[in-house]
Amino acid sequence: MVVQTVSVIVPTCGRSEKLDTCLRSVARQALPAGVTMEVIVVFDGEEEGAASFDAAVIDSRIQTLSIRASGAAAARNAAIARAQGELLVFLNDDCYPAYGWLTRHIEAQRAMPDGGMCVGRTDWAQWPDETVFDALVRETPMVFFEAQMVDGHDYGFRHFWTCNTSVPTEAVRAVGGFDERLRPVFYEDVELGFRLSASGVAGVRYLRDAQCIHDHRLSWDDYLKREAALGRMAVLLYEANRDCFRAVFGYDSLIDFMCDSEAWLRLNERDAARAEAVVYRQMSRFSKSIEDWPATRDLLYFAHLPVKRAAFRRAFAAAVADLSGRKDSQGACVYRTDRSSAAATLGR
């Protein structure tokens, strides 16, 4: 792929200090000879934030725009519509690229005849008072799966994570960009990756040297709320792209998945509660206080899985049971507590 112009896209909402650090990290990137860069920052529902943000103080190549609060997909689409680059590079506002990050993305895209999907390495920040939970998030597949990924290998669409990703602009435009029904966040990136892959775009190629630091400290409660949000958003993924839903979860029917989820909860809810009680007691300990950390880490990771699965399944089953099939003016589902209507709406 020929890459002479690059558009770095950063959606943001309410994290001005982190955004400043992110953009300064982008601005200091060295570019290969003959390559130019633009940076498009989209303030999602933050007109005042956009108005007060002086991008020129950081770098003249940064441009900003604001949209009403519409979610990550809409924010990225607004930037894509304005982008002039042949290559899109997506970045979170709390991710700080290492020097050479952008060059690695460009080199990888140039090595593929038509370009493709590439995902860079995103390391969780290390905290001076690191807890067991912090270390688990950083070192295990609790959120990402990077410990299991090999540099230069191609992985499936489920690894198309827009915290650190590049893809040809025309390929994204050809499939219609992000699906804005998937809002506020979750699955909008992997759903786009699914459509890109189906259209013949290569990847997702892992670039270990395209490194970012992810300045996003989760708590145990944050983590479980995230799993519940993923469960609820899975219903919207089904609405938006049933083929992608099937590829991710292995089900054709929401009701079948809901019934299996409820059956799992009936069988495992008590064990999940016991596991949470055991695991939770360890989470706030300082990781340096654990003598045999690798063994403890692996034990806690596997011990926490029933808790994670329960949070997801509980939220997913509740969302499906409440689905009425009606939509609001923006095309999103409207929910109600009418299980029989949900089943009837979905043809069961």
pLDDT tens track for 157-171: 999 999 999 999 999
| 40 and 102 together in one domain | yes
Q: The domain containing residue 51 runs over which residues? A: 5-214
Average pLDDT over residues 252-257: 91
Q: Which amino acid is at 140?
A: T
At 334, the pLDDT band (50, 70, 90 cuts) reads very low
204 and 253 together in one domain? no
Per-residue confidence (pLDDT) for residue 55, from 0 to 100: 82
The structure's pTM equals 0.89
Q: Are 12 and 154 in a shared domain?
A: yes
The verdict on 58 and 182 lying in the same domain is yes
Q: Choose the final residue of a domain: 214, 229, 253.
A: 214
State how many domains the chain has. 2
Q: Which residue has the tokens 């020929």?
A: 2
pLDDT at 249 over 90: yes
User: Does one domain contain both 151 and 251?
Assistant: no
- Taking the C-alpha atoms of residue 117 and residue 201, their distance in angstroms, rounded to an integer, is 7
Tokens 């200090």 sit at which residue?
A: 17
Residue 335 pLDDT exceeds 60: no
CA-CA distance, 111 to 252, in Å (whole number)?
A: 37
Which of helix, strand or coil describes residue 292?
coil
- Shared-domain flag, residues 47 and 175: yes
Tokens representing 255? 């009701």
Q: Based on the domain organization, do 202 and 253 belong to the same domain?
A: no
6-56, pLDDT tens digit by residue? 999 999 988 889 999 999 999 999 999 999 999 999 999 876 666 678 887
* Of the residues 146, 181, 214, the one at which a domain ends: 214
Provide the token pair at 250: 């292995």
**What count of Cα atoms within 13 Å lies in the side-chain half-sphere of residue 22?**
26
With the C-alpha atoms ordered 66, 45, 89, 98, is the resulting torsion angle positive or negative? positive
Of 192, 214, 236, the domain-final residue: 214
User: Does residue 182 contact residue 240 with C-beta atoms inside 8 Å?
Assistant: yes
Indicate if 230 and 210 belong to the same structural domain.
Answer: no
| Same domain flag for 64 and 135 | yes
* pLDDT value for 305: 95
Note whether 39 and 8 are within 8 A (CB). Answer: yes
Instruction: Look at the block and give the residue holding tokens 């709390």.
Output: 94
Residue with tokens 């507590």: 337
| CB-count exposure of residue 57 (10 Å: 0-12, 13-18, 19+) | exposed
Structure confidence at residue 288 (pLDDT)? 87
- Outline where the chain has alpha helix (H): 16-27, 47-52, 72-82, 101-110, 132-139, 169-174, 188-198, 220-240, 242-249, 254-283, 293-321, 339-345
Say which CATH number the domain at 132 has.
Answer: 3.90.550.10
Look at residues 68, 82, 105 and name the one whose alpha carbon lies nearest to residue 9.
82
Contact indicator for 74, 9 with CB cutoff of 8 Å = no
Q: Tell me whether the omega of the peptide bond preceding residue 41 falls within 30 degrees of 0, making it cis.
A: no
Please report the pLDDT score of residue 342 as a whole number: 38
What is the mean pLDDT of the segment spanning 292-304? 94
One domain, residues 159 and 128: yes
d(CA 122, CA 2): 26
Identify which of 232, 222, 221 has the alpha carbon closest to the alpha carbon of residue 254.
Answer: 232
| Rounded percentage of the chain residues whose pLDDT exceeds 70 | 91
Q: Worst-scoring range by mean pLDDT, 37-41, 99-103, 250-254, 329-333?
A: 329-333
Indicate the burial class of 46 (C-beta count within 10 angstroms; 0-12, 13-18, 19 or more).
buried
- 186-202: per-residue pLDDT in tens? 999 999 999 999 999 99
Nearest to 182 by CA among 75, 317, 41: 75
Average pLDDT of every residue of the chain: 90
| Residue 337 predicted with pLDDT over 70 | no
For residue 68, count CB atoms less than 10 angstroms from its CB and return exposed for 0-12, middle for 13-18, buried for 19 or more.
Answer: exposed
- 178 and 66 share a domain? yes
DSSP codes of every residue in 12-44: ESS-HHHHHHHHHHHHT----TT-EEEEEEEEE
- In this structure, are 63 and 42 located in the same domain? yes
| 257-263 average pLDDT score | 92
Amino acid identity, position 309: R
Residue with tokens 């390391």, as numbered in its chain: 123
Gap between the Cα atoms of 127 and 108, Å rounded: 31
